[in-house]
Amino acid sequence: MKNVLQTIVALLTTLVISCSSNYTALPKYKRSDWPHWSMSSEKCLNMRQKVLKDRSLIPATINKKTCRVLNGAWNDYYYPETLHNSNSIDVDHLVPLKHAHDHGAAHWNREQKKAFSNDPQNLVITNRKYNRQKSSQGIATWLPSRIQYACRYVRDWLSVKNKYGLEINEVEKTTVKSIATSCKGLKLFATRDLERENQ
């Protein structure tokens, strides 16, 4: 087990604080520049389908003709819900692609963008309606409503940003410091199988 507050504070100290929010000077974001759902190491399944298969709490039902996961049991990353039908699920980018673009990734080459888009560490399972609410927002404007989920989200958000050298701005930094005080005393499992942390 890891102390969430200690982890958040440690990650925050490693990140570059952006002094500018002038995103208009950046190249225009195009989702097509970020190849996602590339084929995984597992036969037939792309990365989205592999995440669904690997993180199902029960053996997932797979249509072998279409290479799609149909049913399983998945704990929602953002809220205390269990999902069963893949049609109601999104595999969400924890740090959204557009947000990454605006915070240090605009000039990455295509391979770097592909790696980020398909990194399991940045992919979480959620109800489609929650992903629509979150969209490309950052932690300064959107957080899960339950504190345990919000703390984990901020911790993992910072971890992904640290991994890829992405910046955070002053508003994000303030948000992190504010929520970190609420995370004091909370402990979360350190496993990479994020969806199985839910209680």
Contact 60, 53 (CB under 8 A): yes
Q: 134: burial class by Cβ within 10 Å (0-12, 13-18, 19+)?
A: buried
For the chain (199 residues), the mean pLDDT of every run of 10, in chain order, is 64 66 77 90 88 96 94 96 96 97 95 96 96 94 93 92 92 88 68 39
Rounded to an integer, what distance in angstroms lies between the CA atom of residue 70 and that of residue 185? Answer: 39
pLDDT of 38: 85
3-state helix, strand, coil in the chain (%, to 5): 45, 20, 40
The pLDDT of residue 170 is 87
pTM of the model: 0.85
| pLDDT score at 13 | 72
Token pair of 17, please?
């604080």
What's the pLDDT score for residue 153? 94
- Domain borders along the chain are 2-197
Nearest to 177 by CA among 2, 13, 1: 13
First to last CA, the chain: 15
